[in-house]
Every structure is written in C-alpha cells, then in structure tokens.
Structure 1
Amino acid sequence: MTTHHTPALPSGAPSVKAGRAALASTDPLRADVHHWSDPVNEDERMAFWTEAATLLDWETPWEQTHSWVPPNPAIRRGPEISWYQGGTLNAAVNCVDRHVAAGRGERIALHFEGEPGDREDVSYAELGRRVNQAANALTDMGITRGDRVVVYLPVLVETIVITLACARIGAVHSLVFGGFSAEALKFRVEDTGAKLLVTTDGQYRRGKAVPVKANADAAVAEAAVEHGGDLEHVLVIRRTDSAVEWTPGRDLWWHEVVETASTEHSPEFFDAETELFIMYTSGTTGKPKGLVHTTGGYLTGALYTYLRLFAHPDPARRANDVHWCTADLAWVTAHTYEIYGPLAAGATQVIFEGTPNTPHEGRHFEIIERHRVSTYYTAPTLVRSLMGWFPDGVPQHYDLSSIRLAGTVGEAVNPEAWQWIRRQIGRDTTDDAGQPALPMVDTWWQSESGSTVLSPRPEDAGFTRPGLKPGAASREMPGWGAAVVDDAGRPVPAGTQGNIVLTATGPSMARTVWGSPERYYSSYWEKYADQGWFLAGDGARRDEDGDLWILGRIDDVINISGHRLSTIEIESALISHPDVVEAGVCPVFDEMTGHAAVAFTVLTTAARERLDAAGGAGSDAERELLSALRSHVGEVIGPVAKPRSVIPVPEVPKTRSGKIMRRLLTQLHDGETLGDTTSLQNEPCVPKIEEICQRRGTAPRREEVAT
C-alpha cells in the first residue's frame, strides 16, 4: 500500500507564503459558495477543499492540503488522514473574535430560550467576553492543551461558552446529553480520562426542576484523583437552585470562578490536526465509540456545509438569516450546525433548552414567530410528533412566514413528514399554482463524517431540478464520493439495495476512535480495506435518476423467506395510515421464515381514545385496527411486507439523534438480554414496552436444539 499526498495550493489559490491576510480574505457572511463548481476529479476535489479552507482565518498557512495512508489490514489500522498540514488556527477565534474584529460585535449570535420562559440575546462581543472568562478560568484550574473536559449540560448559553473556551485553549471537549444516566456519564468521564466535569445543580425538564449534580457525583466517584483517576474538579452552574452535595476543593461554582475571571484572553493557535472534540456514538450492543475530530478539517467542513445548505443563496440578504437547529448540543448535529458552523459563519441563531411540548405543543411555533426564524433544521421524529399533536394542521394564528428553508436529520425522513413540513410549516411559501414550494434539505451524514455527505442543495430543493423526491437523500455534497455496493464491493444495479460506502471523504471525517484505533479499523474500514472505502453501516439504493435513498442500518434489514425488506420502508407505510404517529419495525425470530417483522406503533391521540372507549387492549376494536394496519402495509408495499404482529406502545426507544433503537425492540420482543440503554433519550419507555410484550406473549417459544 502506498501513501497518497496531495499538493498544498493549486493554481489561483493563496501562496503558502502569502500570510494570514490572504488566507482570511473570504468573508464567510458574504461568501457566494452556492456558485462554486463541483469537483469532477481528484485534482479539482483538492482545489475545492483548498478554497473551502480559505473561509477560515489561519494564523499560519498550511503546507499540504491532504495526505492519506490507506487502511492496513496487516496491523489492523484504519487510514491515516491529515488535512491542511502545517497550518495553525484557533476554532474559537474563527467563531467569535474575527466577527468582532470585522465590526460585527453587536450582531446577535444567540437568541436563548429557556424552558421556564427566560430569554437572553447574546451578541458576538458579549459571547467573546464570556468565552475569554471561561478560558481564563480553565487555565486557572490547570486545564491545558490536550486535557479532556466532559460537559454534562442542557442547551444553555454556558454550554456553548465552555465548549468554545476549551477550543480556545486547546483542551478536548466531550459533550454529554444532560438527561443521560450516571452510568452513561461515568463511562465517558473514565474513557476520556477527563480532568474536569462541567455540570449544573439541576435541569428543567418538562416543567420541573430536576436535580442533576447527584448523577455527576455518582459518575465521578471513582474517577477522582484520590482514587487513582484523572478528574480534579467539578464545575457547577447554578440553574435551578436545587440542593446539592458539595465536595470542598473538588467542586467549584461557575459564578465564583468563571464570571469573576478577566474578560481579556490571548488565544493560542494550534496545528490543524489538533484534537478538537470526542463524540460518542450510542448503540444497543458494545460500549460507545469515542470518535475523534480535529480542528482545521472539521471546522472547514462545518463552515462550508452550513453556508451551502442553510445560508441565504444571496449573500446580500444573509444578514437577515436566523437559523434554528433543534438538536441537543451534545449531538454531533448541534456541534456542526448549532455551534461551529453557524458561529464560524457569523450567523444569528436560536438555542432552546426545553422540550417541544413544554408548556404546550405549540412552543416551537411561538419561537419561530418571535425570532423570525428563517431556517428550521430538525429530526423526522419531532416532525411526526408535531403531526400527531396537530392532526388538523398548525393553527393559523402562528406566524410562520419567516421560514425560508427546512431541513431534516437523524433518519431518512418519511415522505408523509416531508410533505407535512412543506404544507404546514412552509405554508407561506407556494408556487404560482398555490402548491407547497418550501425548499427541503434532507441531510444524510453521521457522527463519523462530521458534516453533511448527501443532501439536495437549496437551489434544487424547491423542485427546480425535475424529479426531486420526498424522502430521497439525493446527491453527494461537493468533495465527497459515495457508492452503493454489495458485500464484495461490486456496484449494485439501480433500484437494488446494497451497502452505502464513502469512496472519497471530506476533511471533517473522524480520524480515529479514542483509545481504540483497532476498533476504528474493524468498525468502518475492514470490510472494504482493499478499496480504501468507509463502510457507513446503512443500506441504500440508487434509483434510475441517480438519486440515493437511505434505507436504515444494514442490520435493520429483514430477510423474510429470501425477501430483503427495509425497516424504514415498512415504517413509512405504517405512518401513512391516519391512526399512526410513529412506528418502529424490527426483525424477530420466526420458526417458519427465520425472521419476521414486528411493528411497534404509536397511535394518534384520537385512535387511542377511540380504542379506550371500545374496551382498550385486547378488545375487538383493537384487533380490528391492528389487522387493518397489517393489511395497509400489504397494500402499500406488498403482502410479504406485512408485519407478523402490530403492537401498540406509548413510544418507541430512540437515541438523542432521534434514531429508533430497533435492535433493542428485537431484544425486548424476544426476551433477550438487553444491550446498553443508557444513551436513550427516553429510557423510561423500555420497561413499559417489556411489560407490554410479556403481557401480549407475542414471541414464539424457541425450541432447544440438541448439539
């Protein structure tokens, strides 16, 4: 195997010796990236990513744009990936300082909406002052370059402040969803070897103040220095005035050590390949993987794709954009399109602490109206919830006319949800015939890729390109390559399901798994090591027009009597029925066919009330509805796709990114030992589903086979 190097700067790009001014000559708020040409060969791809990097401010120009050492099966190591080698920069300077220096310090960076109704507008100048205070406080606590900081917070201004402060001093941050259990937090603290944990006294959840620090205390009990661990301090934000236990010397109040620190701070500049953050994936089996993202490449990918997907195509009108990515800040989507991408672009955005139905189901629409949100980026699972809450459509008294573009992320969006967004949230954007015309960008990407890989472009998303389809992830973003292949690496025919692989990756790609380079290889690169392709783990098909459709995780494909069926396709069929809000379909054991499909369905409020009035679970009315749902799937897809059982449940288990944990549903149904559930956003639903499965006795008894 050979090492592949690519040149630093192609013809027309700034010279290596040109200095910082030339490399910072492109104002991201005014950059017309929508008209950049798509690369058609490797030289053009490198020229493209070179140009994209000039959207950032570099203290030192890079010497080489990209180098790649292919995967090595002999030593079981993934590729060695480097971008912008020799270049130095600071992520926090790119997200804050440069906008203040450009005279835009009073521009609003963050419209904060707290769950109890408290609000705050934070300018770029004020954000810079707070980040500087936090950076000074971190330094005073002994945090230096390369140290790990675990952040266990909800969506607060302080969460973004501490994240950028870590980047400013070269510490590696790892954000953890504030609703995770003590066990999930403990794993991340210990796996990273964190020196500092940042948390709150409590958090607001669904209208209540919930104590949180006790979870933090339990998580770090064995990680502290006195027990042989690395953790030295717990930094606590006072949010709810909840009572807390206190360990003198270890525990520190944010308002005492951060808000009293100096607002002046001189940043350091770090090599482009300096680790920026560790993002943990979640799964139902095995421990989570800590994906390592580095500074220069990740920030380039985040900024370019934010501008290409969400910024107004006309730079002259971009100053009026208000972006809202609804993800929790601990999710990679929020890292890229709620922290680093929008802030590097100098954008204004909304951040929201609460749940979408607290104190009522119209909370999101109130926020859109109040802040004149123009781009709304959310998860299909939330859209389906809104569909259930508002079966007659979004009430007309909400002013949603500011919405210019909507996007989805997390799982492939169901066509019904795609259409609902355009028809309801985009109701003020119609074509000459009065039909919905809101541009929709359904983005497909992963924690591993760091930024969007597949998406319709905004210039295509309003059906200006003939044949754009609801639910299709569409085409590769510039600078990325993807293919759909079989297990041997051969391209599959159009319309045939295969494995989606990345044949060319962008600079935002994760470099390794923290502490486990062998796992990075075995999880992503081993299957197609000879070709140097990244195995994404999703099934997909490319249609006759060349558009890509994501069909769910490879291990979520159900093989019934030789027929390979996608769980997402069956779920979409169920959701198209008026009585179903959400569905999770999983493969279960079947002694006749090997596998069968079982559908866990969340019914609409109206359907539940109708069944309760007719006798509830086990009634003739319920049996009639479940039979109708099975038949509906048969009509939409075909008889072979009919679920063997349809089981009503209050909700289906999901990760924080909104992905349905289908393997967990299989384990619950078949009575198997459960995998890790600590990373779920709704872990309390697990015992409820388990009780329903036991009560219904839906799993057939397996015959013991003598060996």
Structure 2
Amino acid sequence: MKENDFIWQPHGDYLNKSNIALFMKRWKIKTYQELIKRSTDDIKWFWNACVKDLKIEWFKKYRALYDDTNGMPWTRWFLDGKINIVHNCLDRHIRDGNGDKTAFYWESDDGISKKISYKELYDKVNSIAKSLVKSGISKNDVVGIYMSFTPETIIAMFAAMKIGAVALPIMSGFGPQALAERLKIAEAKILFTSDGFPLRGKQIELKNKINEAVKIITTLKKIVVIKRLNKKTEMDEKRDIFWDDFIKLGADIKTTKTAILDSEHPALILFTSGTTGKPKGVIHTHAGALTQTAKEIKYYFDYKEKDVFFWYTDLGWMMAPWEIIGVQCLGGTYVIFEGKPDWPNHHRLFEIIEKYKVNTFGIAPTAIRMLKNFGNEFLREHNLSYLRILGSTGESWDKESYLWYFKNIGGEKCPIINISGGTEIFGCFLSPLPIMPLKPCALGGPGLGMDIDVFDDTGKSIRGETGHLVCKKPFPSMTKGFIGDNDKERYIETYFSHWKYSSRRKSIWHHGDLVKIDEDDSWFLYGRSDDVIKVSGRRVGPSEIEECLMSNESVKEAVAIGIPDELKGEKIICFVCFSVRWPKLTGEETAEELLKKYVSEKLGKILCPDNIYFISALPKTRSGKIPRKLIKKVYLHEKIDDISSIENPSVLQEIELLNMIKIIACKRKE
C-alpha cells in the first residue's frame, strides 16, 4: 500500500441508502464535494434544510436563522425561536408512542447491566425535575454532576435542562480541588454525586473526599448523593441528601412541565482548558447543541432507527452529552459504560459490542494504542459483524494504530469517521462522510455547514502545507462565551485575536489545531498550535497543574509541558524550583513521588505528571513570561533559532541535560 492510497471506498448502501445520500437526492446534489461547497457557501440554506430534515420541534418557530450584524463572535441563532432539548430528546418520543423503546443500555465497571426505556427515563427525569423545583432550583441555576457514568448522570442532566437550569457535568477522575474550582467558577447551586464507584476491582470514595473542598462554594445549597457503593458517608444534615430521599421531596408536585425556552437559553456548561489562567467554562445552548449533535449523528455516523450507538467516553468529556443528546433527538438507542477498556481484561469493550449488537462504535486513538498491544487474535473470539461505522476523536492518529483499528475491529468493511472539533463548539469542524473514500488517519473534509480553511501565519489560505485550522462563518453550536467573562474579552482573545480585518464582522475563528490538506483534498490533523496539553484526548491547561504544584509549600515555581507519547498522545512533564522549605520525605519516597502523589490527590490521576524535574530556576523572557514552547523544544532537542529574549539562557542547558541523563538511564536499563 502506497503512502497516499485510499484504503476505503464507499459502496452499496453507503452510496445509495445512507442518510446523507438520501439528503443529497432530495436536494439534487450529485457529489459530496458539491454538498460540502453548497453547505459552506450558503449556510442559511443548509441549516434551515438540516433543521427540517432532523425533524427538530419548536414550541415557536424561529423568525430568522441567524443575525451576525455585530460580527461573528456575537452571532445570534434561531431568532425568537422557543425550544427545549428535553422535549426533543424525551417528551415527543413518549407522545408518539415510543416509550417502550430502549433509550440506553448501561454496563457497570463491576458487571451490572441495565436497560432503560424511554418511558422509564422520562418518569425518572420528571421525578428529579420536580425535586429540583421543590429545592428552589430555577432557570439559569447551575446543576453540577460529578460521578461515574451511571444512569443517574443522564437523569440529572435532562432534569436540569427540563426546567431551564444549566447542567454542568464534571469528570469523576478530577480531584477535590479541581472539582471545587469548577463549581466555584460556575456558581453551582446543587451537586449530584455518589458515595463512590468501583474501578478495576477497587472501591473509590467520592463524597467523603470532597466534603472539605466544597466548603468554599458559597453558592452550593444542596448535595444529592447516590448510594453507588452503599458505603458509610459523611453527610451534612442541612445540605446533603441521598438520591432516594431527594426524589421524595417533589412527590407532592403533580407535574413539572418542560420549560419553553429561548433558542439561546443555556443548556450546558463544559469546562475546557487554556494555557493561562483558570479553566474555561464554555456555554452551550438548547438549539445549538441539539442541532449540531443530531446533524453529526445522523449524517456523519449514518444513524438508523434500529441502530445501537456506543462511544467509549466519560460524562465529563464532551463526547458523552454529544452522544446522549444527538442519539436521543433521533429517538435512538446507545450504550454507556462505567468501566475501563482493559478491566477485568482487554475483552471488555468487545463483549459489550457483541452483547448489544452495536452498529456504531467510537473510541479515542489512545485506547486503540493500548488495545493493540494485546495483538489481534483475541478479537476473533467476538462477533463484531454488526459493526457498520467506526468513529474516533480526541487527538491525532498514528498510521499503524489507525490501520489496526480499521482491519481488526472493522474488518476492513467499516469507514472510520475520524472527527475533530472541540468542547467549545460541541461538535466537529472536520469529519468524513460515509460516502467519501478515506485515507489512513484522514478526517475527510469540512463539516457540513462549517466554513473552515487552513491559514498560514500571515492569514493566507494555503494547500499542501501545515497551517492553522480556522472557521470563517458562524455556526449554531459555537459557544456563547465563558462563564464569568461578561464582556467576552477572554473569549475574543482565545478565538478571534489572531487575524483581525477591517471590522468585527469579518473576524476569523482560530481553533488552535494544525492541519494540512493534501493533493486529493483529504484533511489531516497534526496536533495543537498552542500550549494546551492533550492527554488521552482530553485537553489539559498547564496552568492548572502548575498552580497545584505551587500550592505545595516546598514548590516555589513550576512549569508544565506536553511531549509526544505513543499511548496517550501526549504526556505531562513538569519542571519545578524548590522553595527554601525542602519537602518532607518518608522512608524511600523521593521528592518526585511525593509531588506526583500530591497532584493526583488534588487534581486526579489524569492530571498527574509523568515526570517532574528539579531545576535551579525557570527560563523566563525579559518581560517575565515563561516560554513553554521553547522549553518543550529544548527538552526534545529540537532546533532553537533565537534565545535572545530569554533572561537566563543557562537554565535551558539544565533542561537539555536532564533529558539526556534520562535517555542514558533508560538505555542502561534496556
């Protein structure tokens, strides 16, 4: 196979009966190239046609699709429309007589299975919604959700949205400090959590660990605790309540109607990380989130009425609410999984795929790299014949792992819909369509209705070279800004400050990804153009790790960078300067081990550095800034052109030497 060969060609039903093929026939569009061009040239036509084809229901139809009079950053969508995600994802399916259909299957870490119908989900959502109202939760109040991926997470999310409150899912892997900071930024009024959860045969405590941290959240009035492990739990009598008792609070309320909300009423807050400052809480709306996710599930992943959809994810990652909202808008069925792909063994995911006859399966490249290490013989023990579409997202692929996924899991018969977007857009800028030929690692082309391009450093559109991924027109699911950023300064600085033109109307969204379009118009992703670290598909802001390290009394300064890692995409490397107070060590524990443990306890294992090095000082520019990109280049022994702006260049030699010593030590071990 040549480097640039197409490995998959669309055929049969993909070309003739796929959802996107039927959409094209309806509009007399002959090729996918014509479809992409028309959808990005004429976004008014596309999004209006999309909303109609998806059968999205409105309490009141919008009078105009969008208004970008004040410029792309301030675009308003679906003007004067009234809507609610819960009506589209739950209520109408009950109304239409589909209550007995399975909404989702749940597989726990410890082997428990559940099947939840639309009617059962509808009843449980209504019960929690009534109790939220009884507890004083109303429109715009923030509802935190912090637990492992169980049915209760979905119930709590939809219950919040039903009454016009805002759901805030937070990954259960975050530690108490990281949780508290996010709750504080969002000014959460109520938190759903659990006593703990099973993980790889162990029981992980949750509620007891966060009691001290949440004391600083002055807005937090109530914590609802699910008895996942039935462990003894410390409860504040005035604030805390168990799930079953919480349900009883609203028992005397007969009904709670689904709130009729403005199109741009906030539905979700999802946290993403930048290179400086605190984590960013991005806001997504009912109409925007619903339209984008349903579009992608139906057209990109060709979801059919009787399909079963399964994306291996966690509620705190964008892909979980993306899957839940998108599939349920279409009245479909999906799988949620609480556990890990290699527990109790590496057969776990494939047992689930076989058990539920999964048709669409999505996963991050990191997990595939891990599974690939077990070879491919074990896959022959599982019937994967129902698979029709494979998915991936979160980071760049390496060719070997991509081909392993394509050949051994997909049997060379399933296209890999390799998507790329972000938390801040709640969807994809790039995606293949099932009617496209595909090359290894390719992302197809621009998402439908997403007018994207590749710019060089001067803002010129380029082909055949690596450049910056940009978007030139607004789209419904673009975030409405960051929590607490009322004047949108941070929002503008993050996405619209790279290429400014004569007016704000012509602002360009700079996404921070490096991409290239080859000679066949296939798009490829080459990582981040900023300092954000991407660990196992999750974006990590270096400042959060640095701040945690510096909260330890023995650390004066710290810097975090991400370097390439075959398994995780990137791993975290930190450089630390000690204060006068040397860390207190016990037994054979090293200073590095102590600080790793400290970060794990505060932020969670996912944010724990792989290596921590101790240096005399951090490199700084003459204006006092820490040059992370330069530090990374030095550590990786890459070419450095100019260090004239560095106040203390001798420290760079320390960093280079530290990595050389590590490399030599590793070779001796071999």
Measured against aligned partners, the alpha-carbon deviations of 1:545-582 in whole angstroms (never above 9, x if no partner) come to 2222111101369xxxxxxxxx99xx9xxxxxxxxxxx
Residue 704 to residue 276, structure 1, CA distance change in 2 (3 Å):
closer
* SS class of match (2:326): helix
Q: Is the 8 A contact 1:211 1:243 kept in 2?
A: no
The reply to whether residue 173 of structure 1 matches residue 162 of structure 2 is no
Q: Is the 8 A contact 1:199 1:216 kept in 2?
A: no
Q: Is the 8 A contact 1:184 1:678 kept in 2?
A: no
In structure 1, the residue matched to 2:65 is 65
- Partner residue of 1:660 out of 570, 575, 589: 570
Structure 2 counterparts to residues 55-454 of structure 1, below 5 A: 55-70=55-70, 79-223=73-217, 229-258=218-247, 261-262=250-251, 264-283=255-274, 285-312=276-303, 318-337=304-323, 339-388=324-373, 390-427=374-411, 436-454=412-430
Q: Is the 8 A contact 1:413 1:442 kept in 2?
A: no
TM-fit CA distance, 1:669: 13
Q: What letter matches 1:543 in structure 2? A: D
- Distance, in Å, in 1 between the alignment partners of 2:212 and 2:24 is 49
TM-fit CA distance, 1:599: 6.5
Residue 177 to residue 422, structure 1, CA distance change in 2 (3 Å):
same
> Gaps (5+ residues) in structure 2?
1-17, 30-34, 543-560, 579-590, 617-633, 638-647, 653-670
TM-fit CA distance, 1:40: 2.2
TM-fit CA distance, 1:176: 0.4
- For this pair of structures, how many residues does the alignment match? 552
- Partner residue of 1:543 out of 518, 536, 552: 518
- Distance, in Å, in 2 between the alignment partners of 1:704 and 1:42 is 49
TM-fit CA distance, 1:294: 1.0
TM-fit CA distance, 1:354: 0.7
- Distance, in Å, in 1 between the alignment partners of 2:177 and 2:120 is 36
With normalisation by structure 2, the TM-score equals: 0.76
Residue 198 to residue 41, structure 1, CA distance change in 2 (3 Å):
closer
* SS class of match (2:489): helix
Q: What letter matches 1:472 in structure 2? A: A
Residue 457 to residue 43, structure 1, CA distance change in 2 (3 Å):
closer
Q: What letter matches 2:58 in structure 1? A: W
Amino-acid identity (%)? 30
Q: Is the 8 A contact 1:95 1:345 kept in 2?
A: yes
- Distance, in Å, in 2 between the alignment partners of 1:30 and 1:444 is 19
Residue 356 to residue 475, structure 1, CA distance change in 2 (3 Å):
same
* SS class of match (2:125): helix
- Distance, in Å, in 1 between the alignment partners of 2:237 and 2:496 is 47
TM-fit CA distance, 1:32: 4.8
TM-fit CA distance, 1:487: 2.3
The reply to whether residue 478 of structure 1 matches residue 448 of structure 2 is yes
TM-fit CA distance, 1:394: 3.5
In structure 1, the residue matched to 2:477 is 508
Residue 698 to residue 474, structure 1, CA distance change in 2 (3 Å):
closer
- Distance, in Å, in 1 between the alignment partners of 2:576 and 2:525 is 26
TM-fit CA distance, 1:469: 1.1
Structure 1 vs Structure 2 CA RMSD: 3.4
- Distance, in Å, in 1 between the alignment partners of 2:372 and 2:262 is 47
* SS class of match (1:453): strand
In structure 1, the residue matched to 2:32 is none
In structure 2, the residue matched to 1:523 is 494
TM-fit CA distance, 1:197: 1.0
Q: What letter matches 1:327 in structure 2? A: T
- Partner residue of 1:690 out of 592, 599, 612: 612
Structure with larger RCO (C-alpha < 8 A, sep 6+): 2
Q: What letter matches 2:51 in structure 1? A: A
In structure 2, the residue matched to 1:627 is none
Q: Is the 8 A contact 1:177 1:329 kept in 2?
A: yes
- Distance, in Å, in 2 between the alignment partners of 1:684 and 1:92 is 33
> Gaps (5+ residues) in structure 1?
1-27, 72-77, 224-228, 313-317, 428-435, 558-566, 572-583, 587-596, 603-650, 653-658
* SS class of match (2:335): strand
With normalisation by structure 1, the TM-score equals: 0.72
In structure 2, the residue matched to 1:635 is none
Structure 2 counterparts to residues 476-625 of structure 1, below 5 A: 476-492=446-462, 494-516=463-485, 517-530=488-501, 531-555=506-530
- Distance, in Å, in 2 between the alignment partners of 1:668 and 1:324 is 41
TM-fit CA distance, 1:257: 1.6
* SS class of match (2:445): coil
- Distance, in Å, in 1 between the alignment partners of 2:651 and 2:368 is 44
- Partner residue of 1:45 out of 40, 43, 59: 43
- Distance, in Å, in 1 between the alignment partners of 2:282 and 2:243 is 28
- Distance, in Å, in 2 between the alignment partners of 1:598 and 1:309 is 31
